[in-house]
Structure 1
Amino acid sequence: MSEVAVSEGPACGFIGLGSQGAPMARRMIDAGLPTVLWARRAQTLEPFRGAPARIAASIAELGAQVEHVGICVIDDAAVLEVCGQLIAAMRPGGRIVIHSTTLPQTCRIVARDARARGVSVLEAPVSGGAPAAEAGALTVMTAGDLAILEQARPVLETFSRRIFHLGDYGAAQTAKLVNNSLLAAKLAMAHQALSAGATLGLERRALVELLQASSGRSFGLDVLARQPSLEAFSNADALADKVRLLSEAAGDGSSAVTGLQRAVASAFPS
């Protein structure tokens, strides 16, 4: 990685260097933000060796050094574990920005615990995946105090193209789950449409090209068109899990998500 001049931005941390978190952290580093990294798995830190970023030995060590820390770990339990250690280590006035996809109540819990220590929290799940993160073109959905968003905006803009503020804690995570569930439903419907076409004797490639140029086009169809089959779509399990989270957030038997669940279940059976 080439050398960059250190900016006047805040001291930043990043935890969760997976397929999406790693390019987000790299964009922050390349923008010149002084950045500290921590990862549970040492191998995820290897691409950052020699980069103008420090590597912390623990979450507490990272938290003590930074004003802003982005979290992009895998699930609710990991978010609660990591944030609990950060809250205890960070100085008052610091902020935690949660990019992981979680249940809406998880960010409310973290925000409550952080407030007691003088640490602020911004809920900020993202959409676009690794390619958009690498291009600095993620969409960021935020919730919480608008003033916290404005403080965090220069950092978020290093890896995003659009930033939305949706309301109080829980709103951004709810929107993220709806977005992911809608994509899953569109993928399922596209799969059903292509399967119907095959049953009726249509050649898959020709049908895909026709649909992409017609009113039946959707982002789900475009994604599926790049795969040999729905089974080859590597994010299928993750999308199905988001539908489960939306159902859990809405409550069992909620009619608000029944239609999405039915559409998705046909192609993503649990």
Structure 2
Amino acid sequence: MSGPSVTPPPGTSSGSAPAAKARVGFVGLGSQGAPMARRIVEAGHPTTLWARRPDSLAPFADTAAATAASPAAMAADCDVACVCVVDDAGVEEVVAGADGILAGLAEGGVIVVHSTVHPDTCRRLADLAAARRVAVVDAPVSGGGPAAAEGRLLVMAGGDDDAVERCRPVFATYADPIVHLGPLGSGQLTKLLNNVLFTANLATAAGALSLGRSLGVDPARLAEVVAHGSGASFALERVAAAGGTLDPLAARAGALLQKDARLLAAVAEAADVPAGPALRAADDALDLMDHRR
């Protein structure tokens, strides 16, 4: 009589040896991407990096990471290729350009789009990738560089179940939680909604502090009180830390928040869905930051 079937624990094969870690490629070593890549390297994944600027690679000189001369060359040495560049055009160039990831990634590979872009960008790339038997997962992140360095980024993933699960051990090096939201594009939609809500909250927080000042209530004291009350929000914390103004946020993030509001508005318009009060409030914040949508 045969014995019971035993499922090996995660991270091991049916034998005693641990399962091999995925080989990872990473493009986009900015303030958020660099700590993500470092976490991947430090977790023991064989990692290959590519960057347009050599100085972006310099901080990795003391690590086991390899470097490549092009996205295609990087992809030839990896199973999972992560992209964390700024915008749609950058993602399309890195993935589908003449010397892009698709030119080097082998059949069965996965391209992960960590950038915040239009869902249709991911779908177009997925169509191109499918012809090469490569999967695409959209996995925008939230939390910033410090969260990445501490392994507590939020990953919002969209895509085929199997592809997302193959990427999960890589995501787990820099993220907790990792939320699989549904089919390809759902991660991007969720990130856009999150960012527009944050932008809307900036407008209401700045407006409340300004109104309080006009009525004789010290903005710093008001923010201190509201932080412990039902009106508390992350946006209020950011505005209060900036002295009640949106100017520092405008300089650092105004253009990115404007981009995301435009993307969500375009998605809603194409679906013939009213954008509603969140986008209207976000527009107020963008106007205050001199980044009108």
TM range (shorter): over 0.9
1:169 aligned residue (173, 181, 184): 184
Larger radius of gyration: 2
Q: Tell me whether 1:260 sits opposite 2:278 in the alignment.
A: yes
CA 1:119–1:26 in 2, change beyond 3 Å: closer, same or farther? Answer: same
Count of residues in correspondence between the two structures: 264
Letter in 1 for 2:261: V
Deviation at 1:253, TM superposition (A): 9.9
Q: Which residue of 2 aligns with 1:231?
A: 247
Q: Which residue of 1 aligns with 2:135?
A: 120
Q: Is the 8 A contact 2:137 2:158 kept in 1?
A: yes
Distance in 2 (CA, whole Å) between partners of 1:256 and 1:137 is 34
Give runs of aligned pairs for residues 28-67 of structure 1, distance below 5 A. Answer: 28-67=40-79
Q: Which residue of 2 aligns with 1:156?
A: 171
Q: Which residue of 2 aligns with 1:79?
A: 91
Distance in 2 (CA, whole Å) between partners of 1:213 and 1:201 is 20
Letter in 2 for 1:102: V
Secondary structure at the residue paired with 1:91? coil
Mean Cα deviation higher: 242-251 or 99-108: 242-251
Q: Which residue of 1 aligns with 2:36?
A: 24
Secondary structure at the residue paired with 1:27? helix
Deviation at 1:207, TM superposition (A): 0.6
Secondary structure at the residue paired with 1:118? coil
Secondary structure at the residue paired with 2:199? helix
Letter in 2 for 1:9: K
Letter in 2 for 1:31: A
Q: 4+ residue stretches of structure 1 with deviation over 6 A? A: none
Letter in 2 for 1:257: A
Distance in 2 (CA, whole Å) between partners of 1:199 and 1:89 is 60
Q: Is the 8 A contact 1:10 1:67 kept in 2?
A: yes
1:98 aligned residue (106, 113, 135): 113
Q: In the TM superposition, what whole-angstrom CA distance separates every residue of 1:102-161 from its partner, at most 9, and x where no partner exists?
A: 001011111111111011111111111112111110111111101111111100000001
Q: Is the 8 A contact 1:247 1:254 kept in 2?
A: no
Provide the TM-score with structure 2 as the length reference. 0.87
> Which sections of structure 1, spanning at least 5 residues, go unmatched?
1-6
Question: CA RMSD, aligned part only?
Answer: 1.5
Provide the TM-score with structure 1 as the length reference. 0.94
Letter in 1 for 2:92: L
Q: Which residue of 1 aligns with 2:145?
A: 130
Q: Is the 8 A contact 2:107 2:133 kept in 1?
A: yes
Share of identical aligned residues, percent? Answer: 44
